[in-house]
A and B are shown apart, each in its own frame.
Chain A
Amino acid sequence: MIQVHYFAHLREVSGLEVENLEAAGKTIAELKEMLSKKYHLAGFDTVMTAVNEEFADEETVLQEGDHVAFIPPVSGG
């Protein structure tokens, strides 16, 4: 299992803060495609991804127990 964290508009659209998924072995790109279909998420291409609290690229392969977070363009400050 991997744990997926949602924030900002992604949290509102999916209706979830966190969910556990069977996605070990998939790449970030594959996971994004799967979830964008599942939740009808628009604009997923400008969303960054973090794996275990560090930015990761689309080719990163997910491992069992990973924490994945989708990071929409940030607006702190």
Chain B
Amino acid sequence: MNFQITKDPIDMNEMMDKVTSRNAGAVTLFVGTVRELTKNKKTLYLIYEAYEAMAVKKLAQIGDEIQLKWPETKVAITHRVGKLEITDVAVVIAVSTPHRNDAYEANRYAIERIKEIVPIWKKEHWEDGQEWVGNQLETVAYPSGKPEESDL
């Protein structure tokens, strides 16, 4: 189970163990956490929601894409859902590769892809309101109703 959605806190050691390999010379762990301030707005907490069945498939797809780009890589991704407080861990991406540069690059690739194709949403709760966050920069629209080939 290298690709998971969970309601529970994510165990970092378990994530590390999932990608441990005798061929690996490097492991990168990306840990996404809940930030308090965004553009001077104070977040109280977040609610993450996922379309779990599809999200797990899309996380696995990201793993497959990484295998093609960086052979001999092991990948594990877990994203948490539910109510998360400031400093809580929302996502952990573990990547192991024979050489360190690939471990950094593949890990970066994974988080960027999560923000494009994995059906997970967060709702910000501020002191003075709440809102579902779309694409953070409002830079991506889907006029055809789905991501373009280049996005997938």
List chain B residues, Cβ under 8 A from A75.
Answer: 115, 120-122, 132-136
Assess whether B142 is in contact with A48, with CB atoms less than 8 Å apart. Answer: yes
Q: How far is the CA of A48 from the CA of B32 in the complex (A)?
A: 25
Please determine whether A76 and B54 come into contact, CB atoms closer than 8 angstroms.
no
A77 within 8 A of B: yes
A70 to chain B, nearest CB (A): 10
Residues of B within 8 A of A55 (CB): 117, 146-147, 152
* Contacts known (A8-B121, A29-B145, A46-B134); A76 close to B51, Cβ less than 8 A: no
The number of chain B residues with a CB under 8 A from chain A is 37
Interface string of B135-152 (1 = CB under 8 A from A): 110001111111100001
Interface residues of A (CB under 8 A from B): 5, 7-9, 11-12, 28-29, 32, 45-50, 53-58, 69, 71-77
Interface of B is mostly: mixed
B residues sitting closer than 8 Å to A (CB atoms) are 32, 48-51, 53-55, 57, 79, 90-91, 111, 114-123, 132-136, 140-147, 152
State the 7 A-B residue pairs at the shortest beta-carbon distance, nearest first. Answer: A76-B120, A73-B134, A73-B135, A8-B121, A53-B54, A58-B145, A55-B146
The chain A residue sitting closest to B112, CB to CB, is A77
Contact of A47 among B90, B120, B142 (CB under 8 A): B142
